[in-house]
Amino acid sequence: MTASPHQPFRILIADDDPAVVARIAEQAREAGHDVCGMVSTAAAAIAAVAEEKPDLVVMDAALGEDDDGVKTAMQMRLAHNVALVFLSATDDEDTLRRVLSVSPSGYLFKPVRARDLKVTLELALRRHKREADERHSLQSLAQTDSLTGLSNRRHLDETLADEWNRCGEVGKPLGVLMVDIDHFKQFNDSFGHMAGDLCLARVAETLKAACPHPTKTVGRWGGEEFLVILPDSDAQATQRTGEFILQAVRESGDASTQALSQQPVTISVGAAATLPAPGATPRDLIHLADMRLYAAKRGGRNQVSGGPPLAIDAPSTPQS
């Protein structure tokens, strides 16, 4: 929704009666709203919603002899999720049932009084905004790891697939960093799960702060492993980002966890980048990063391993 309390709402009116359209447009303008379009057919309404992107559509439930406002509304809701207020000259049960199936934000009987229109538009737009906020909150919950607040595994998989396809289409490289907290199992076993959860949360905060650019996605891959997705990042740039977050964790100075283990919390990082090509998959890139993470662990931990493909047969789960 583009409007705020200090801006007029953008209203599209769809009705095949010119007198009705003119009257509602006048009433909407008097109420302080912007009428961004007036159409008389279903096809014109669909095109206008796509082009004008109104905040709300006021539509006749029976749009013309052959057109069907309810069917048109369903298409609009699926494609654009726009707020809808239906108009109707009848109150028969069949019309009401079909209108309610679209879950409109409001319903008005003709002839429409100015006061009724003003109140209905305000309530409809508030309801639509509340529903949109609720959907956004639910979507965020479905994509977020509850402990760290980072992207969860599901969202990482979706983002990686999307970026793989996009980078492949535009001919840009895609980089990833597989990050693992060193000696985490030992830490968890020695000091308990609450301390382990705190350690995970602190490292997550550091990783997120080290990758503030909105195109970079940081998430919890599983357990004590994190994944950083770096679109448009070649091997050198991916390596540099890995070194940067490695240093950021070294310098984070989390006294609450370091006091327990008497040593700094560190990470190992596997860095990999590639130009997505036919025949390859995102899993190939993840596997390469996982191999390099294993190499960083085997090389002494607290380091980044990158460069050319590694000729080793690594286990699927790196050492802690």
- What is the per-residue pLDDT across 113-170, written as a single tens digit (0 to 9) for each? 888 888 888 888 787 777 776 666 666 667 789 899 999 999 999 999 999 999 999 9
In this predicted structure, what is the pLDDT of residue 81? Answer: 76
Q: Say if residue 194 is in the same domain as residue 276.
A: yes
User: 220 Cβ partners below 8 Å, 6+ apart?
Assistant: 145, 147, 148, 150, 151, 152, 153, 200, 204, 226, 227
Q: Say if residue 172 is in the same domain as residue 294.
A: yes
Q: Say if residue 163 is in the same domain as residue 82.
A: no
Angstrom distance (rounded) from CA 315 to CA 263: 28
Torsion angle of the four alpha carbons 195, 200, 206, 208, in this order, in degrees rounded to the nearest 10: -150
- Among residues 233, 318, 212, which one has the least CA distance to residue 270? 318
Q: Say if residue 42 is in the same domain as residue 184.
A: no
In this predicted structure, what is the pLDDT of residue 72? Answer: 82
What is residue 214's DSSP assignment?
T
- Is the full-model pTM beyond 0.75? no
User: Which alpha helices (H) appear in 105-178, and where do they start and end?
Assistant: 114-143, 153-170
Point out the catalytic residue in the list 30, 52, 131, 224: 224
Angstrom distance (rounded) from CA 202 to CA 192: 16
In this predicted structure, what is the pLDDT of residue 311? Answer: 37
Give the count of domains, the chain: 2
Q: Say if residue 133 is in the same domain as residue 37.
A: yes
Q: Which of 118-127, 212-221, 260-269, 276-285 has the lowest mean pLDDT?
A: 260-269
In the β-sheet with 174-181, what is the strand arrangement from edge to edge? 217-222, 225-231, 174-181, 267-274, 304-305
In this predicted structure, what is the pLDDT of residue 319? Answer: 60
Q: Does the structure show a pLDDT above 90 at 206?
A: yes
- Site of tokens 């990470």: 267
Q: Does residue 66 lie within any of the structural domains?
A: yes
Q: Does the structure show a pLDDT above 60 at 176?
A: yes
Q: Say if residue 135 is in the same domain as residue 163.
A: no
Task: Say whether 30 is catalytic.
Answer: no
Assign residue 234 the CATH number of its domain: 3.30.70.270
| Contact between 33 and 121 (Cβ < 8 Å) | yes
* 3-state secondary structure at position 319: coil
Q: Does the structure show a pLDDT above 80 at 229?
A: yes
Q: Give the tens place of pLDDT for each residue, 86-115.
A: 888 877 777 777 777 776 778 888 888 888
* Cross-strand bridge partners of residue 217: 229
Q: Which of 130-134, 185-189, 248-252, 287-291 has the lowest mean pLDDT?
A: 130-134
Q: Give the tens place of pLDDT for each residue, 60-81.
A: 888 755 557 788 888 887 778 7
Q: Say if residue 157 is in the same domain as residue 301.
A: yes
Domain edge (last residue) among 110, 140, 170: 140
Q: Does residue 237 lie within any of the structural domains?
A: yes
Residues of the domain holding 25: 10-140
In this predicted structure, what is the pLDDT of residue 91? Answer: 72
Q: Say if residue 192 is in the same domain as residue 75.
A: no
Structure tokens belonging to residue 43: 């096809």
Q: Say if residue 263 is in the same domain as residue 123.
A: no
User: 174 Cβ partners below 8 Å, 6+ apart?
Assistant: 163, 164, 167, 229, 230, 231, 232, 233, 273, 274, 275, 276, 285
CA angle 108, 113, 117 (to 5 degrees): 55
- Among residues 224, 242, 220, which one has the least CA distance to residue 233? 242
In this predicted structure, what is the pLDDT of residue 230? Answer: 97
pLDDT band at 309 (very low <50, low <70, confident <90, very high): very low
Q: Say if residue 230 is in the same domain as residue 196.
A: yes
pLDDT band at 259 (very low <50, low <70, confident <90, very high): low
Average pLDDT over the chain, rounded to an integer:
84
* 3-state secondary structure at position 199: helix
Q: Does residue 168 lie within any of the structural domains?
A: yes
User: 303 Cβ partners below 8 Å, 6+ apart?
Assistant: 246, 268, 269, 296
Domain edge (last residue) among 140, 173, 208: 140
Please report, for the chain, how many H helices and E strands are present, in that order. 11, 10
State percent of the chain over pLDDT 70. Answer: 85
- Among residues 220, 162, 223, 160, which one has the least CA distance to residue 188? 223
Q: Which of 20-29, 80-89, 230-239 has the lowest mean pLDDT?
A: 80-89
Q: Which of 44-53, 262-271, 311-320 has the lowest mean pLDDT?
A: 311-320
CA angle 75, 77, 83 (to 5 degrees): 135
Assign residue 90 the CATH number of its domain: 3.40.50.2300
Q: Say if residue 116 is in the same domain as residue 173.
A: no
Q: Say if residue 160 is in the same domain as residue 256.
A: yes
- Among residues 58, 117, 60, which one has the least CA distance to residue 83? 58
